[in-house]
Structure 1
Amino acid sequence: MPKIVVNAFLTLDGVMQAPGGPDEDRDGGFVHGGWQAPYLDDVGGRLVTEGIADADGFLLGRKTYDIFANYWPKVTDPNNPIATALNSRPKYVVSRSLDRVTWNNSSLIKGDVVAELRKLRQQPGRTVHTWGSTDLLQTLLKNDLIDEYRLFIFPVVLGSGKRLFGSGTVPVTLKQVESVTTGKGATYHRFERGGKPEYGQIGT
């Protein structure tokens, strides 16, 4: 059964909207697109490449699918591990508006999304990875469908924008299994599912 692994680029205050460029996602009048660019370096690039190459398949929302499908099929270098993985491996696209998906090895998830995702978790494979797909992540969070987080956290605070952990997030604990700091001050954290939170009282 494949684990669902969430990969996300986050500001320190949890914003994940439009890290890659000014016009990536202007929903809500967001004016900070491209905030990740000043922090890119070889260490971060290696971690992203390794993460994508590690995936058996990809779970994408419509906007992320559109961005990826408009770019990666044009990258045909057989020595590019990101292009090789994205272009050849299964892609499951969650959308209410799309009628079909044409990128190689893509399939559309419509209707009862949670039921379809539970079916997906019964298929063979190790991991299905999300990238971006903020709206889809809220569905995963509300239904406790996330097995692992791989979070890139950047030393910038924006104060507004779409965030990873929305109001419907189910309380859980996580176990950190890896942490890396890049040369430009970003940090990478890999967390596996723990259990339910435990509570106590400090002091007397």
Structure 2
Amino acid sequence: MRITLATFLSLDGVMQGPGTPSEDTSGGFEHGGWQFPYADEQLWAYSAKWFAEADGFLLGRKTYEIFAAYWPTVTDENNLIATRLNSLPKYVVSTTLDRAEWQHTTVIRSDALKEIAELKARPGRELQIHGSGVLAQSLLDHGLIDELRLWTYPVVLGSGKRLFEPGRAATALSLVESKQSSSGCVLNVYRPAGRPTYGDFTQDG
């Protein structure tokens, strides 16, 4: 299976608490719900398209708990996102989660990179990561993510957790798709392209 990452970012790279004011207030974050003013039909259409490609989900503990508190309550069979999340296998990486009551959930407690590499080697379409910043950073550093789907919103927050924090492994990316929504959000889809290459403009010509 391919491992794909989808996440929402502010213009300054913050991915924390996009959905609601109470979603993630850790570190004193006060900007929760910043995505809401920019949500539009194009966002949901792309989300539905990608969720249809999922054969499973890979989540960090905090994102898992947010999802598990909401999506099982959505019982509309026409809601593709809810149907996929509730019916497909979910793998949550955590050493502190005591139990996972959301159906079809497996907790990965140790040797996470090895377990995820083994999941990736299985036949199938996509094992999708949504949010889950700490997990995503680790998998990016170890070359386990095949595609990044990044929605960048026209807002600067100034604080909060970022996808690309200092200390990330240097990685070049190849842009494979780019679109703009009616609310001014830009969707860029990238695939890892190995190590960055470098040059020197003073030596040009």
TM-score by structure 1 length? 0.95
CA distance in 1, matches of 2:168, 2:50: 24
Equivalent residue for 1:58? 57
Equivalent residue for 1:190? 189
CA distance in 2, matches of 1:29, 1:48: 29
Q: CA deviation digits over 1:76-99, x for unaligned, max 9? A: 111111111101111100111112
TM-score by structure 2 length? 0.94
Residue correspondences, number: 203
Whether the 8 Å CA contact 1:141–1:168 is kept in 2: the answer is no
Trace 1:1-204 onto structure 2 (pairs within 5 A).
2-204=1-203
> Which residue identity does 2:61 align to in structure 1?
R
| Structure 1: tracts of 5 or more residues without a match | none
Whether the 8 Å CA contact 2:53–2:125 is kept in 1: the answer is no
> Which residue identity does 1:38 align to in structure 2?
P
Whether the 8 Å CA contact 2:2–2:125 is kept in 1: the answer is yes
Worse overlay, 92-101 or 14-23: 92-101
> Which residue identity does 2:157 align to in structure 1?
L
CA distance in 1, matches of 2:166, 2:145: 16
> Which residue identity does 2:3 align to in structure 1?
I
| Structure 2: tracts of 5 or more residues without a match | none
Worse overlay, 45-54 or 79-88: 45-54
Whether the 8 Å CA contact 1:144–1:170 is kept in 2: the answer is no
CA distance in 2, matches of 1:120, 1:169: 24
| 2:7 partner SS | strand
Give 1:203 shift. Answer: 4.1
Whether the 8 Å CA contact 2:133–2:162 is kept in 1: the answer is yes
Give 1:50 shift. Answer: 1.4
Query: RMSD over aligned Cα, in angstroms?
Result: 1.2
Worse overlay, 168-177 or 17-26: 168-177
> Which residue identity does 2:23 align to in structure 1?
E
